[in-house]
Structure 1
Amino acid sequence: MRNLNDISNFVFISDELKKSDIIFVPGNSSPQMAEKAAQLYKEGLAPLILPSGRYSNIKGYFDAPKSKSDIYNGTYNTEFEFLKDVLIKNDVPSSAILKEDRAQYTYQNALFSKEVTDKLGLKIKHCIICCKSYHARRCLMYYEKVYQDAEIMICPVDIDNITKENWYKTNKGIETVLGEFKRCGEQLEYVL
């Protein structure tokens, strides 16, 4: 089981959170990460949230929300539009939501978010990333590359019934987590 534990500890990251300058939400079509960001905002952990994303470069368009489409039932052209709607419906004022709607993959989420914060003159020293729990390591890799002077805290959200404790018990979990593990290795050259 040591190999499973090593993979789990590498892929799944969770940090103790503290007051930050901003909360990042990398693009996706599931509402849970933006819902968590809204909760953290309302708890006073950050004054701003930056959801990022156009749509996946694999699909080439924004698909319908993966869950809770009865609540989040708007017409969305981008991940940003969807995530902004989730935030607003969870009581985050639009004045606290920054916009990034060009990114099509994780590195671009980080890179284009940095362009937004730089353009606004924001000095990011502490930030939180609300992401899928199994996507945490790759998010951290890219946001650390782009925000080199910032303390980055990961706030993972378990979705798709895939957790640190159970991922190896289903084919979907194995495929998802080992896919992330593989991509971390393949994409390491971009963060060095």
Structure 2
Amino acid sequence: MEINKKFLDNITDFIFPEDAPASADIIFIPGDGYPQMAERAARLWKQGYAPRILPSGRYSVLQGSFAGVKDKQEVYGDDYKTEWEFLCHVLTSHGVPREVILREEAATYTYENAIYSRQVTDHAGLTIRRGIICCKSFHARRCKMYYQLLYPETEFYLCPVQVQGIARDTWHQSREGIETVLGEAGRCAGQFREILLTGKYITGP
């Protein structure tokens, strides 16, 4: 069965948004066990795109503990209690000073990454006019949805990375890619539906 290319392109453009990096107030990293997001954030920091970085994450609510490093274990090891601890280690390993890394170590899913990151930046007295988000490429739409809800006046630049071999041009060619990308599309719709119906989101501390 031949699938209409325009239909695939519509899904791809929705799930895989990406921007060129631009000067910002902070770089956000939603929690995960992949180091590539923090590696890119470190590069962007070194290039002067933002003065601070905020990794966020305790561990997945589904796991109940840090699930472990998912790539490059030979480089970073696997002895971390939280996603934040792991991502902070990746950042400092790539030359980011500890003092420019903010701490959020409570979030257990993506929406909490955004909620608690907002609380951290408010507590620090930071006004975030522009923010960069370094996340997994197929996670970019959902990340932007949540962070934009919590930072409604902020302009975001999505600077994602490819992991798990799932790319915007080839995701529909493997079962894992199809399941992952369409799963993300379903979560975007289902979770935003709940937000609209219940009003359970905040725009401040």
> Which protein is bigger by CA-based radius of gyration?
2
Say if 2:163 is the partner of 1:159: yes
Say if 2:72 is the partner of 1:68: yes
Runs of 4 or more, structure 1, over 6 Å off, are none
Q: What secondary structure, in the 3-state scheme, does the structure 1 residue paired with 2:74 have?
A: coil
Instruction: Verify the 8 A CA contact 1:125 1:150 in the aligned structure 2.
Output: yes
Residue 18 (structure 1) aligns with:
22
Aligned length: 192
- Distance in 1, Cα, partners of 2:151 & 2:193: 17
Instruction: Verify the 8 A CA contact 2:68 2:78 in the aligned structure 1.
Output: no
Say if 2:99 is the partner of 1:95: yes
Q: CA deviation at 1:16?
A: 2.1
Say if 2:184 is the partner of 1:180: yes
Q: What secondary structure, in the 3-state scheme, does the structure 2 residue paired with 1:82 have?
A: helix
Corresponding residue to 1:50 among 48, 51, 54: 54
Instruction: Verify the 8 A CA contact 2:55 2:103 in the aligned structure 1.
Output: yes
1:190 and 1:96, CA in 2 relative to 1: closer, same or farther beyond 3 A?
farther
Identical aligned residues as a percent: 49
Q: What secondary structure, in the 3-state scheme, does the structure 2 residue paired with 1:101 have?
A: coil
Q: CA deviation at 1:189?
A: 2.8
RMSD across aligned positions (CA): 0.9
Instruction: Verify the 8 A CA contact 2:27 2:132 in the aligned structure 1.
Output: yes
Residue 114 (structure 2) aligns with:
110
- Distance in 2, Cα, partners of 1:53 & 1:158: 20
Q: CA deviation at 1:17?
A: 1.7
- Report the residue type matching 1:128 in the other structure: I
- Tell me the TM-score normalised to structure 1 length: 0.98
- Distance in 1, Cα, partners of 2:119 & 2:193: 21
CA deviation profile, 1:8-51 (whole Å, cap 9, x unmatched): 00000001221100000000000000000000000000000000
Say if 2:126 is the partner of 1:127: no
- Distance in 2, Cα, partners of 1:174 & 1:74: 29
Q: What secondary structure, in the 3-state scheme, does the structure 2 residue paired with 1:156 have?
A: coil
Say if 2:85 is the partner of 1:78: no
- Distance in 2, Cα, partners of 1:68 & 1:161: 14
Q: What secondary structure, in the 3-state scheme, does the structure 1 residue paired with 2:188 have?
A: helix
Instruction: Verify the 8 A CA contact 1:145 1:191 in the aligned structure 2.
Output: no
Q: What secondary structure, in the 3-state scheme, does the structure 2 residue paired with 1:131 have?
A: coil
Q: What secondary structure, in the 3-state scheme, does the structure 1 residue paired with 2:39 have?
A: helix
- Report the residue type matching 1:110 in the other structure: A
Instruction: Verify the 8 A CA contact 1:141 1:191 in the aligned structure 2.
Output: no
| Unaligned stretches of 5+ residues in structure 1 | none
